């Protein structure tokens, strides 16, 4: 098997019904992985399956990532690849205007659920010397007006990536963060509608296609990327683009 193949590997992708998650499911399965993805509704799963190429080994499971009992049934059997992609941007608003409960809900989805999935999957990932990819963001390292919940949650997730690498890297688990750039998805539509900060003012035409982070993450899951384990990577980095097979940015 080549260093870039994922044949025989079992992957779970959270939030695979649309946007970046759907592109990750497509790219992992194109490299030969067997992929199970989650989304909250059966309807959104069926729409995603219809958009994917036929003949791949892909299944969608209706599951809210915050429901750890249900996630446990999904992660009981050992897997080789876990991609924590499911995420929410809201609540968007200045700190003086936010409800604490809404803020906590962001962290429940973006931080606690990702950690929960890692915790549940780790015994199998250690056994199979597997891979974890957490969807990071430039917002993990740069405060953005109106995004206190999102920025702090992504910062926490970036530290979780490093902690997993510290404790489980020596056991053979490769953990990565990947900031996917500014990608044309429903999340960016919600950001544009908010009008609160410079990201929300970006014209849609300047956003990148979801296929790019999909390809980059599928490559990260291969042995070819093993030397980058433990890093929080940015898809805009020219060296990273080159190694993961993406075109240079203009």
Ligand X SMILES: NC(=O)c1ccc[n+]([C@@H]2O[C@H](COP(=O)([O-])OP(=O)(O)OC[C@H]3O[C@@H](n4cnc5c(N)ncnc54)[C@H](OP(=O)(O)O)[C@@H]3O)[C@@H](O)[C@H]2O)c1
Unique residue bearing structure tokens 């010397």: 129
Q: Does 183 bind ligand X (CB under 6 A)?
A: yes
Candidate residues 38, 106, 200, 222; the one interacting with ligand X per rule CB under 6 A: 38
Q: Does 194 bind ligand X (CB under 6 A)?
A: no
Q: Does 91 bind ligand X (CB under 6 A)?
A: no
Piece in contact with ligand X (CB under 6 A), picked from 25-33, 84-92, 141-149, 224-232: 84-92
Candidate residues 61, 88, 159, 211; the one interacting with ligand X per rule CB under 6 A: 88
Of 200-219, which residues contact ligand X (CB under 6 A)?
A: none
> Minimal distance in Å, beta carbon 114 to ligand X?
9
Question: 3-class SS at 61?
Answer: strand
CA distance 82 to 101: 28
Nearer to ligand X, 63 or 173 (CB): 63
72 is catalytic: no
Tokens representing 215 are: 């390809």
Question: 3-class SS at 124?
Answer: helix
Question: 3-class SS at 41?
Answer: coil
129 is catalytic: no
Candidate residues 9, 10, 21, 165; the one interacting with ligand X per rule CB under 6 A: 21
Nearer to ligand X, 108 or 128 (CB): 108
- Distance of alpha carbon 94 from the chain centroid: 26
Burial of 26 per CB tally in 10 Å (0-12, 13-18, 19+): buried
Please give the full DSSP string across 154-211, using - where no structure is assigned: HHHHHHHHHHHHHHHGGGT-EEEEEE--SB-SHHHHHHHHH--SGGGGS-GGGSBPTH
Q: For residue 91, is the peptide bond before it cis, meaning its omega torsion is within 30 degrees of 0?
A: yes
Say which residues have a Cβ less than 8 Å from residue 167's Cβ, sequence separation at least 6: none
Piece in contact with ligand X (CB under 6 A), picked from 49-57, 81-89, 93-101, 169-177: 81-89
Burial 49-85 (b: 16+ CB within 10 A, else e): beebeeebebebbebbbeebeebeebbeeebbbbbbb
Piece in contact with ligand X (CB under 6 A), picked from 71-79, 118-126, 175-183, 223-231: 175-183
> Minimal distance in Å, beta carbon 106 to ligand X?
10
Please give the size of the binding site for ligand X, defined by CB under 6 A: 31
Candidate residues 77, 167, 186, 227; the one interacting with ligand X per rule CB under 6 A: 186
Nearer to ligand X, 30 or 182 (CB): 182
> Minimal distance in Å, beta carbon 165 to ligand X?
19
Q: Footprint of ligand X on this chain (CB under 6 A)?
A: 14-21, 38-41, 44, 64-66, 85-88, 109, 135, 137, 179-180, 182-183, 185-188
Enzyme catalytic residues: 150, 154
């Amino acid at each position: 098997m080549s260093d870039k193949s994922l044949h025989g590997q079992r992957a779970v992708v959270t939030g695979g019904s649309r946007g970046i998650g759907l592109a990750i499911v497509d790219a992992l399965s194109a490299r030969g992985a067997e992929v199970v993805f989650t989304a909250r509704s059966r309807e959104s799963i069926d729409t995603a399956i219809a958009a994917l190429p036929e003949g791949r080994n892909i299944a969608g499971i209706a599951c809210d990532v915050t429901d750890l009992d249900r996630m446990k049934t999904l992660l009981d059997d050992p897997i080789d690849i876990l991609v924590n992609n499911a995420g929410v941007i809201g609540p968007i608003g200045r700190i003086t205007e936010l409800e604490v409960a809404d803020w906590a809900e962001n962290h429940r989805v973006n931080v606690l659920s990702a950690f929960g999935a890692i915790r549940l999957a780790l015994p199998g990932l250690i056994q199979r010397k597997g891979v974890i990819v957490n969807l990071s963001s430039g917002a993990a390292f740069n405060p953005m007006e109106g995004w206190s919940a999102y920025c702090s949650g992504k910062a926490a997730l970036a530290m979780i990536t490093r902690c997993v690498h510290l404790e489980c890297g020596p056991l053979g688990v490769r953990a990565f963060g990947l900031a996917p750039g500014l990608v044309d998805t429903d999340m960016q539509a919600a950001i544009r509608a908010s009008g609160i900060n410079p990201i929300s003012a970006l014209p849609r035409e300047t956003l990148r296609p979801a296929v790019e982070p999909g390809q980059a993450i599928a490559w990260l899951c291969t042995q070819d990327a093993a030397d980058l384990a433990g890093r929080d990577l940015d898809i805009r980095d020219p060296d990273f683009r080159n190694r993961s097979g993406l075109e240079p940015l203009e």
